[in-house]
Amino acid sequence: MTTTRHLLAISPTGLFSGAERVLQHYLAAAGTRGWTVSCLAPAGTLFDTLTADGLRVATLPDLKLGEGPRPLAALTMAARWGRAAPAIRRQARTADVVLVNGLLALPAVRLARLDAPVCWLVHDVVVRRDLLAVARGAAGAVDLAIAVSDAAAALPRRLGITTVVARNGARWPVEPAGATASLPPIVGINAMLVPWKGHSVLLDAIAHIDGAVVEVMGGHFPKDAEHVARLRRRAEAADLAGRVRFLGHCADPLAEMRRWTLAVNASTDPEAAPLSVLEAMSLGLPVVATDHGGSPEVLGDAGLLVPPNDAAALALAVETLLGDDDLRQRCADAGRAAIADHYSLNRTTDQMLAFLAEAAEVASR
């Protein structure tokens, strides 16, 4: 007789961006494949989304670093870890495996002292000293790290944690971007409007390219309102006036991206495995991405890499692609082939759920 496995997921935040999109998909997929699925998450968009999906969701305190002076925010976060630990332990009593979506819930999980195996879904390339300290302190709670890229896998491996890689994927097959080039050409960026995503670098680059239009797709968190205001002021300057469109959050991002000529990922800090790059590749959009984190692992011949925080290099790469129809087509073909052969969401989901099932099986022996 087959026993239904219970997967408990834990999120440190109720916000909803790339890491939470990945978690939502994996939880839904696990549910359709016979797992019993539940989640602990702070109140917010993720909680509401998972509830609407029909999952059993219970609340946790927000476990991310809050606003205000860093020492006070850190103390508040530590107190929340302590308050969250008993709730995590109660919910995990029937779990066959616990999936922790990101770093900042791990200390609470360690305090909970769980019997079930703990898998850490590693979405970040951690470079900040305070976060490195959190990782070192919580590493003992983790039985298996599942990283979304080799770049993300480096830290847990350095900490002595058994680590595997299950890369992010994109939906496949999908309708490609339009074959007819848009005039004027549209250079698009799909990213939350936070400072390290590099929107300001992109705007400075496009200011040196005659004729190109920029479309900025993505919402922003309340704490970044002033950053967004600065971007809008930069877009109104004489060298960009009338050439920047802020689209905000889009319910169907692929539909908007199909109008683009090429896509940019301009992050100034390394991203583990940006979904925006994979989604652009799936559409056959050439990509210009910064040469760090997980982008170089998947991009291949689907675009060009540039140094981070270098507007001149970014402008040159964009101009190179806009000026060469054959190169753009080669990038488009390479991107779609890579998704079909290696990074389709069905393929990466199979891999992820296999790792979780193996962790539960090993623990039950």
pLDDT tens per residue, range 124-169? 999 889 999 999 999 999 999 999 999 999 999 999 999 999 999 9
Measured CA to CA, the distance from residue 285 to residue 282 in angstroms comes to 8
DSSP state of 341: I
pLDDT greater than 80 at residue 363: no
pLDDT of residue 56: 95
Measured CA to CA, the distance from residue 41 to residue 58 in angstroms comes to 7
Helix axes 275-283, 18-32, angle to 10 degrees: 70
pLDDT of residue 315: 98
When pLDDT is averaged across residues 256-266 and rounded to a whole number, the result is 97
Domains and CATH numbers, the chain: 6-169+344-364 (3.40.50.2000), 186-343 (3.40.50.2000)
- Report the residue count for the chain: 365
pLDDT of residue 73: 83
pLDDT of residue 2: 53
pLDDT tens per residue, range 61-72? 999 877 777 788
pLDDT tens per residue, range 46-60? 999 999 999 999 999
Percent of the chain at pLDDT exceeding 70? 98
When pLDDT is averaged across residues 179-188 and rounded to a whole number, the result is 85
pTM of the model: 0.95
pLDDT tens per residue, range 318-328? 999 999 999 99
pLDDT of residue 67: 72
pLDDT of residue 133: 94
pLDDT greater than 80 at residue 329: yes
pLDDT greater than 60 at residue 1: no
Q: DSSP readout, 205-231?
A: HHTTSTT-EEEEE----GGGHHHHHHH
pLDDT of residue 362: 85
pLDDT of residue 252: 94
pLDDT of residue 104: 95
pLDDT of residue 233: 98
**Coil, strand, or helix at residue 172?**
coil
Mapped to the 3 state alphabet, what secondary structure does 264-331 carry? Answer: EECCCCCECCCHHHHHHHHHCCCEEEECCCCHHHHHHHHEEEECCCCHHHHHHHHHHHHCCHHHHHHH
When pLDDT is averaged across residues 288-314 and rounded to a whole number, the result is 98
Torsion region of 250: left, alpha or beta (phi above 0 gives left; psi -120 to 50 gives alpha): beta
Percent of the chain at pLDDT exceeding 90? 90
